[in-house]
Chain A
Amino acid sequence: MTIVEAIIAAHAGRGDVRAGELVTAKVDRVYLQDGNSPTIRQLFKTYGFDSVFDPDRVAIFFDHSVIAPDLHIANRLKEAQEFAERLGVRVFRAGAGISHVVALEIGWFEPGTIVIGSDSHTCTGGATQCLALGMGASDAAAAMVTGETWLRVPDTLWLQVVGKPNRFTTAKDVVLHVLAKFKQERFLYKSVEWAGDWVEQLSLDGAATVANLGVELGAKATFLPPGPGRPEGMRPVAMPDSDDPRRIKVDISDLPPMVALPNSPSKGVPIDQCRGQRIDYVFVGSCTNSRLEDIAEVARVLDSASVHPKVYCLVSPGSQSVYLQALERGYIETLTRAGAIVTPPGCSACLGTQGSIPASGDRVLSTMNRNFLGRMGNAQAQIFLASPIVAAHAAVRGEIPRLSELA
C-alpha cells in the first residue's frame, strides 16, 4: 500500500483500501484558526453541538489576526475566544504563532496519524508523514464532534527529484519549478510522495516548506521521506518502476532560484527573467517560509547591508519559539538595525486580515505561498513569490536581483 492508503486503512479499521473508495476514518487531532472558528461556533449553535470528541486533541489557534485591524474582526476574535473556553479545548493565543508551524514544533503531526485543520496549509504535516488535511468549517465541526471524517482514497503519484540545484536554490524554488513545469492539473486530488537524494537531505524546515506548498500543487496530501531532524516512525518511500506513468522524474540540476509572477504560484520563472523589476514591499513570513532557517538567511544578507530606503520590509517569525531563538541568535537585532520591521509571530501580511496592506500600485515580493489577486488585501497591488534569500536581496536593492548578484 502507498503511504496514504496505509494511513487511511489503519484509521478506517480495514486491512486495505483502494484509490477511489469513499471511507469513514477516525481522526487523531483537529485544529482551527481564528478566521474560521467564529463560523464553526455558529455551526455548533445551529446544529446544537456542545462538546468535542476529546478536548486535548482539539485546538484553536489565534494566528490570522494577531493585531485586530478593525472592529468586525476584533468582535469575531472575542467570539472565537469564548467558543474555545466553552469547549475546553487547547488554546494557542495570539502571539503563539502560525498553527501549522506550531503544530509541527509540538509534535501534533505524528507520522501515520490523521490531522484535520480548518486551513488549507494544514498539509504542512506531510513533512513528517502525517495525513494532514485542510478542510472547511463544516468538515472541521463534524470531525471535532465525532472524531471521524469522510475521505475519498486518493491516487498516488511519485515525484522523484534528481540532480543538484544552484547553491542559492531552496525548497521553495524547487516546488515553484515543479508547479510551473507540470501544472496543477497533474496533481489535483492526488497524494504525492517525494523521493530522491535532494529531498532526503532537506532540513526539517525545508521539508516543511515542501509539504506546505502541496496545496498549491493541488494535491490532497504530500509525504516526504525520512530525513535529518524528522521523528521516528516515518516510512521509506517505495516507488513503482521507472516507466510507470505515476512516477514523475524532476531534474533540478543547476536549477536557479525561481520567482512566481502575479497572480498565481504556478507562474514561476527563473530569477533572471525578472531581473531589475522594481519592488516596493518585501514580506518575509507565512507558514511557508517563517521558520528559523528562513529568518537566519534574511539576517545573514542584512548583516552587511541595509533595507533600501524606498522598500517597506516586514519580517514575521512563524512562532514564538522561532522568535525567541532568533532573538537569542541576534537575528532580530540585525534585521531591526538594517531597517526591517519585525512583527509578532502569526500569519501577518499574508492574506489581508491584519496588514500591513500594500498600497495600490505597490509591487510586493513575498515569501508566502500564494499570490492570488487581492491576496494581501489590495487587488491593485502586484505580488511576486520567492524564497527568503531572494526576498532579502530584493529588500536591499529595491528590485528583484539577478542570480549573479546573490551572495
Chain B
Amino acid sequence: MSHEPIPLRIRRMSQVISTDDIIPGRYKHMFTDTSELAKHVFENLLPGFAATIRTGDAIHCTDTFGIGSSREQAVSSLMAAGVKAVFAPRFGRIFFRNAWNLGLIAIEIPAMPGGDMDVVKLYLAEGRLSGPLGEASFAPPPQAMLDMLQQGGLLAMVQKRLVGRTRETAHP
C-alpha cells in the first residue's frame, strides 16, 4: 500500500444518514449507470448538494452513516459523484462492507482535524489524519481491507482467483 498521503476536502453532515438519504430507492431500480445515479445523491435531504461535490471530497458525518438498505448504489453513486472517503463515528454494517468492497475508504473515527470545506491529509495505512485543527488517529484498516483496496475491490480479487484456477486446470 502506498504511504503517500491522500488530500481530501471535508463535507460535513451532522445527522444520522440512511442509504435512502444517500440515494432514494426508485433511482436504483431505474438506472444501472452510476453517473445517472450520482446526480440524485442526497436529493431528499440536502437538495442541491450533489452539484457541489467535486472529485476528492470526503464526507464527514458526526452521527451514524449509511444505515438501512443493502443498496450498493449508495456507495457507487457517491464514488461516481467524486467522493473518495467517508468518515463517521459508526457505520451501517452493509454500507461499510459495500464501501470497502468497491474501494470507497470508510473510516470509523470520533472527531476530525478539520471542519467543513477544510482540506485534510489521510495517511491510511498509518491510521492518521492531519488538518488545520491538528492530528487525529484511527485504528488502521486490517491488511485484508487494504489489499482489497489496492487490488481494485472484491470482484477484481475474485476475478484474479478464477483466472488462476482456470490456468491450473488447463496446465496441471
Contact = CB atoms under 8 A, between A and B. Distances in A.
Interface of A: 22, 34-36, 38-39, 41-43, 46-49, 64-65, 70, 72-73, 76, 117-120, 122, 134-139, 141-142, 145-146, 150, 184-185, 188-189, 215, 218, 220, 264, 351-353, 370, 372-375, 377, 379
A370 B70 contact: no
Interface in B36-85: 44-45, 64, 67-73, 75
B20 A374 contact: yes
Interface of B: 16, 18, 20-21, 24-26, 28-32, 44-45, 64, 67-73, 75, 90-94, 97-98, 101-102, 142, 144, 153-156, 158-159, 161-162
B97 A72 contact: no
A139 B98 contact: yes
A184 to B, nearest CB: 7
Contacts of B68: 120, 215, 370, 372
Contacts of A22: 142, 144
What are the 7 closest A-B residue pairs judged by CB atoms, nearest first? A136-B72, A72-B30, A136-B98, A379-B44, A372-B20, A374-B44, A137-B72
A72 B31 contact: yes
Interface of B is mostly: helix
A46 B34 CA distance: 14
A390 B79 CA distance: 42
Contact of B18 (A38, A138, A372): A372
A76 B25 contact: no
A141 B26 CA distance: 21
Nearest to A48: B159
Contact of A218 (B45, B92, B161): B92
A160 to B, nearest CB: 23
Contacts of A43: 155
Contact of A47 (B64, B71, B93, B155): B155
B45 A373 contact: yes
Given A142-B158, A188-B93, A136 B70 contact: yes
Given A36-B72, A136-B70, A142 B155 contact: yes
Contact of B25 (A185, A220, A375): A375
Contacts of A35: 25, 28-29, 71
A119 B70 contact: yes
Given A135-B70, A352-B24, A76 B97 contact: no
Nearest to A65: B29
Contacts of A189: 93
A131 to B, nearest CB: 13
B1 to A, nearest CB: 17
17 contacts: A35-B25, A35-B29, A38-B32, A43-B155, A120-B69, A136-B101, A138-B72, A138-B102, A138-B155, A141-B158, A145-B162, A146-B158, A188-B64, A372-B21, A373-B21, A375-B20, A377-B26
Contact of B158 (A64, A145, A351, A353): A145
Given A70-B30, A184-B64, 13 more contacts: A36-B72, A39-B32, A42-B32, A65-B29, A120-B94, A136-B94, A137-B73, A138-B102, A139-B72, A142-B101, A146-B161, A351-B26, A372-B20
Nearest to B157: A142
A188 B16 CA distance: 13
A39 B28 contact: yes
A52 B62 CA distance: 40
B93 A118 contact: no
B29 A373 contact: no
B101 A138 contact: yes
Contact of A120 (B70, B101, B102): B70
Contacts of A72: 29-31
A247 to B, nearest CB: 22
A353 B29 contact: yes
A352 B26 contact: yes
Contacts of B101: 136, 138-139, 142
Contacts of A134: 70, 94
A218 B97 CA distance: 14
A234 to B, nearest CB: 24
B71 A136 contact: yes
A39 B101 CA distance: 15
Contacts of A150: 144, 154
Nearest to B160: A47
A195 to B, nearest CB: 23
A375 B23 CA distance: 11
A286 to B, nearest CB: 13
Give the interface centre of B92, B153, B158 by most chain A CB atoms within 10 Å.
B158
Contact of A118 (B70, B75, B90, B159): B70
Contacts of A145: 158, 162
A352 B25 contact: yes
B113 to A, nearest CB: 23
B26 to A, nearest CB: 5
Given A47-B155, A139-B154, A353 B97 contact: no
